[in-house]
Amino acid sequence: MKKILQRIIHTYFTENLDFRARIFNILGFLGITLGIFFAVLSFFIGASYMLIGANLLASAAGAFMIYRANRSGNFKPFFLITVIGVFFILFPIMFFSGGGYQSGMPSFFIFAVVFTVIMLEGRRRAVFTILEIILYLGCLFIAYYFPQTIIPLDPDDVAIDIITSCIVAAAVLAFAIWQHLIIYDHKQKQLEHFDRKRSELFANISHEMKTPLSVISTYAQLLKNKMELLPQAEGSVENAMLIISEANRLGMIVSQVLELARMQEVNIKQDLKPCHIGEIISEAVSSHFTSAAENNNHNRIDLKIDDDLPMILADAPRIAQLVVNLIANAIRHTKGGLITVSARTSSAGRKKGNIIVLSVQDTGKGITQEEAKMIFDRWYTSAGGTGTGLGLFICKHIAEIHGGEISIESEPGKGSCFNVILPVNTSPC
């Protein structure tokens, strides 16, 4: 007996099965038990032989369906066949031969709807759920206006049938949902584990790439400096500048991936110190965008930073990354134009003191209002755009951990302006 039970568990309830297949097997076995139980109960309470036969037929059909589905490995057709056979054929028979709505049939109807919602997908789920509701309403209509079509239960047995049906149906549904939640939790833990491993892999690869990228950029810069001293070496100088530009771009992508991995770490501490945001912006621009020719789009970068900007409590490297990402985004979407980076103080919209408004405005192609709603989503890139889709997502994250916010003003053909609001002298959210 023990070996038989182990074989059944290994065959029909293994974790290798799809969660709907496991739910199908669980509900199938419970349905078989439920059908046999009601058949025996109907026999002892003196119900009609038609009702007893319908319950036994439902149990036999359930056993056959479970066997064939697991034998073939293709469960979806059997999900649909079960819904049609049990709930569209057997249900009306049991309804009219087992007391109609003055019995346990309402509980069976609830079970049918829940089973359909769990097992079917997409349009099939919606269509068959609606059809089941229509079928049940039709049965109720016939039973109410044509009561002679119903084979009533004995008055002494009606209460027993209703109570028993409610208890059994509730137990079956509770067990099925409980199993569903167990499977869901297990899959969720697996996804979290894989996601963590993926982030660790990206972080390790990105970290290992930083050193060779730094070497490439440094030696390309040395090569460029030497080539500038040689006559007729203009083409070589341009090639060296291209190497430097692409190395810097790849370095920026590596930084974005590292930042994404860092964002997913739990309980990470921010290195917040008083700093001058004007100095952070100037250094970020000079370090990553030293000339208009370097970005290959022949843009001009203009700085407009107020001299009297107050100190802010911030993680300076991350604020610098925010600035670099915004400028890099502007460069990708602007050709032969002007990119204006500005920082100013303002008191508008805040009750707890002044704010600093950091803006990066370009004269590029701009975006539509629909794109603007998605521009800060992870992995989102505009139509025909390039990049990883991480830059602006990271900008939003950096602004929010500093207690600020980021927004965009844009119109197709008229450029874009990104505004970052940072609170002055405050702790991060």
What pLDDT, on the 0 to 100 scale, is given for residue 343? 92
- Residue 16 belongs to some domain of the structure: yes
List the one residue out of 336, 242, 339 whose CA is nearest residue 284: 339
Residues 317, 406 within the same domain: yes
Is the domain of 171 the same as that of 49? Answer: yes
Instruction: Find the Cα–Cα–Cα–Cα dihedral 169, 173, 175, 180, rounded to 10°.
Output: 170
Q: Tell whether 183 and 251 lie within a shared domain.
A: no
- Tokens at residue 397, please? 């994250």
DSSP string over 326-368: HHHHHHHT-SS-EEEEEEEEE-TT-SSS-EEEEEEEE-S----
Give the C-alpha distances (Å, rounded to integers) separating 410 from 186, 323, 335, 348. Answer: 44, 18, 16, 21
- Domain with 115 in it: 2-193
186 and 205 in a single domain? The answer is no
H helices then E strands: how many in the chain?
13, 7
What pLDDT is stored for residue 388 in this prediction?
67
Q: Identify whether residues 333 and 395 lie together within a single domain.
A: yes
Q: Which residues contact 348 (CB under 8 A, 6 or more apart)?
A: 355
What's the pLDDT tens digit per position in 40-58?
A: 887 887 777 877 887 888 7
The tally of domains found in the chain comes to 3
Query: Where residue 300 sits, what CATH number does that domain have?
Result: 3.30.565.10
The amino acid occupying position 128 is: F
Same domain, 389 and 353: yes
Other residues' Cβ atoms within 10 Å of the Cβ of residue 92: 17
Q: What is the pLDDT of residue 284?
A: 85
Q: How does 344-367 read in b/e, with b if 16+ C-beta sit within 10 Å?
A: eeeeeeeeeeebbbbbbbbbbbbb
Examine the domain organization and report whether 48 and 172 are in the same domain. Answer: yes
Do 275 and 374 belong together in one domain? Answer: yes
Domain ends where: 141, 175, 193?
193
**pLDDT in the model for residue 72:** 83
- What number of other Cβ atoms are within 10 A of residue 73's Cβ? 9
429 within a domain of the structure (yes/no): no
Q: Specify the pLDDT at position 36.
A: 86
**pTM of the predicted protein model:** 0.51
Report the SS3 class of residue 124: helix
Looking at the structure, tell me whether residues 245 and 342 fall in a common domain. Answer: no
Using 50 as the pLDDT threshold, list the residues of the chain that sit under it: 266-267, 291-295, 349-352, 426-429
